[in-house]
Amino acid sequence: MAATDTTHGRPHPYHMVEPSHWPAVGALAGLLTTLGLVCFMHPDTFGPGLQSFFESVGLWIAAPGMLLVLVTMFGWWSVVVDEATHQKVHSPVHQVSLRYGMALFISSEVMFFSAFFWAFFDASLFPKEATGFMWPPEGILTFDPFDVPLLNTLVLLTSGFTVTWAHHDIREGKMQHATQMLGITAALGLIFTCLQVWEYSEAAFGFRDGIYPSTFFMATGFHGFHVIVGTAFLIVCWIRSAKGHFTANHHVGFEAAAWYWHFVDVVWLFLFSCVYIWGG
């Protein structure tokens, strides 16, 4: 349904967004989170005399910020869901803009992982004196890639299959089966996270034990965070699908979740082949 252009008196396909407080709340949440984490991790930034003070208050500043981030995500996205489902103001043109926005967001995520892979390959292809001119560094006991990592690879590949199946079901109007496939996909995401937590608990090295542990935990941990976010995304889509929010011609929210999940799948394949197999 097209909105009405009250200025020129003619319909147009664009959605004129209502004024909202969520951008301001989100900005405040980001400021508190960033400031708190900086104070906690780099308390000497504000001078050695205040180091102990900022280290002690850092998490107390970051915690409300993180809570506000969650509140903003829930509140803002609830508004978007309402616009799409009940107000029906997301015209085909507006859906295209949402798809472009998601594509740009995923592109920015690619840059994040490119930086982590760059750090890993710089340290592994050109070992420095700090690593004894060898890779992996001496004393580092790496993970067996054909143990838990291989199992996690199979879990993620299966989840990519089920989310694609759900997409085809939605396009064909088979909403009940699509809901089942979404539930299976979200469950597989939870299984992946549990397996990775178990793997971390068995690690023979810590985050601060050198360049290999640092690059390993940053790359795999950041990916694990994305799996958690993607799983939450899929759970929301699962609930929305059960409530009948999606139709064969209007399911941009699900498409965004599926794109994000496929991106998580592809990144893991690079991690498994480059970090676990080749890098180990």
Which sequence spans correspond to the domains of the chain? 1-90, 91-280
Percent of the chain with pLDDT over 90: 57
Do 1-90 and 91-280 share a fold? no
- pLDDT of 11 reads 63
pLDDT band at 2 (very low <50, low <70, confident <90, very high): very low
pLDDT in tens, 92-145: 888 888 899 999 999 999 999 999 999 999 988 888 877 778 888 888 888 899
Range from 74-83, 97-106, 230-239 carrying the lowest mean pLDDT? 74-83
Structure tokens at 3: 């909105």
Q: Does domain 91-280 have CATH number 3.40.640.10?
A: no
The rounded mean pLDDT for the chain is 88
User: 1-90, which class in CATH?
Assistant: mainly alpha
Contact 137, 211 (CB under 8 A): yes
- Phi then psi for residue 13, to 5 deg, are -85, 10
pTM: predicted TM-score of the whole model, two decimal places: 0.85
Distances (CA, A) of 99 to 3, 90, 104, 279: 20, 12, 9, 35
pLDDT at 148 over 90: yes
| Mean pLDDT along residues 58-75 | 92
